[in-house]
Amino acid sequence: MQMQERMQQLSSGAASSAAAMSWQAELASCILILHKVSLMDDDVSTPTLILLFEDPAFAKLAPHSAQVKRARARLQQLRTEHSAALAGLDLAVGSGEFQVFLAAFVKQKVLSLQEELVAKLSAKLCHQALMPALAERATEQARVVRSIQRVVCVIDEKAAALQGWLLGAFVAAELLPASFAELKEGCSEWDFNQFHRGAFPWQHSQAMMDGRSDFEALSELQQRIAEHQRAKEELSLVQEEKRSTLQLYAQQQSAVSEALAIARESAADGSSLQYESSATTSVQRCQSARVARKRAGICILLEERLQRVQALKAHAQRAFVLSSSGSLAEAWTENAMHSGVPNLEMDGNSDSGHGHLA
């Protein structure tokens, strides 16, 4: 159940509470932006603007830009809201107090980027799952391929940003979780192609030991769950088809029985005719004999067809009972016998139960 819940979270791209920015992290972000915009040259002791905004377009900021104005207003708001907690603290960039706030911001950015990579990889897997269904729709398949390529580019960008936060010596290691130091050790040698298949360096599981990433295992589980759900839907359709089949046979049996009764009654009326004039009876008797033979033939045909539809109905009932009880081999044999019985052909609306025989 935990695997299914995790798979659903990844598929929806839902962010966990770890990615929510604390007020301390947000305050550090605002201070950094205002600090950066006041410098003539960038400094390596603090994150670059590109890392802060995750966009190369923000390599430089004008003092009166919208981003700077928002950072200044938000910083003032945070100082007012948390004045008691901030009283007496030196929040100048480089101070010991600011380092604590900056550590909270770095931690949030690393966790957030990890979760964004997880969400993007999930989106890529969802797009890939559509490909088989679009095998005969080249235009739509090409559109999905382009979407996958865009997601892959975003994954590479997010992975590069994560590298930047881990490799930057912005705060003392003791202010960050121990897992960050472990992750930092090999991050300069990351192969982003591994990220494309969900093999993230911060994930260690039995799936990875088996040569698959967590996402590949979750994707396979998702496929199996979808197949199971589809099988349940198919079983429901089969049950409905069984009911419809038996209902159709019952209607056909009723229609043939009714037609046979009418034919027998007509044959009986024809055989009871009496002729008085000897001069005319020979012709009439010949005609009557032909009509009687025709009506008798119709009765025979109807009787044969009634037997056929009764056999079809009986075979179907036995096959359905056997399949429901799990005796699939016997049901298969019964179905083969069922398939060997000639089908009835009826004209008109068979649903009414009063169609005309072909």
Residue type, 172: A
Q: Which residue has the tokens 């679009």?
A: 134
- Model pLDDT for residues 119-152, shown as the tens digit of each residue: 888 888 888 877 777 777 888 888 989 999 999 9
Q: H helices of 131-213, where?
A: 138-167, 178-185, 192-196, 206-209
| Cα–Cα separations (whole angstroms), residue 333 to 118, 141, 154, 351 | 51, 42, 56, 29
- Model pLDDT for residues 231-279, shown as the tens digit of each residue: 788 888 888 888 888 888 889 888 988 888 888 887 776 555 555 555 4
> Does pLDDT of 69 surpass 90?
yes
Please state, as a whole number, how many other Cβ atoms lie within 10 Å of the Cβ of residue 282: 10
Q: Which backbone phi and psi does 41 adopt, to 5 degrees?
A: -125, 150
Q: Which tokens belong to 68?
A: 């700077």
First-last CA distance in the chain: 57
Q: Which residue has the tokens 């016998």?
A: 337
Q: Which backbone phi and psi does 143 adopt, to 5 degrees?
A: -65, -40
pLDDT of residue 342: 47
Q: What's the burial of 325, exposed, middle or buried (CB within 10 Å: 0-12/13-18/19+)?
A: exposed
Closest-CA residue to 154 (of 164, 144, 162, 143): 162
Name the pLDDT band for 219 (thresholds 50, 70, 90). Answer: low
Nearest-angstrom CA–CA distance, 282 and 181: 117
Residues 6+ apart with CB under 8 A from 98: 28, 31, 90, 91, 92
Give mean pLDDT, residues 2-27.
Answer: 58
198: alpha, beta or left, given left = phi > 0 and alpha = psi -120 to 50? left
Name which of 33-47, 95-109, 142-156, 248-262 the model is least confident about: 33-47
Nearest-angstrom CA–CA distance, 305 and 311: 10
Strands (E), the chain: 346-347, 356-357
- Whole-prediction pTM: 0.56
C-alpha dihedral sign at 328, 332, 333, 338: positive
Q: Which residue has the tokens 């179905």?
A: 335
- The listed range with the strongest mean pLDDT (218-232, 288-302, 318-332) is 288-302
> Does pLDDT of 96 surpass 50?
yes
Mean pLDDT, all residues of the chain: 78
Residue type, 146: R
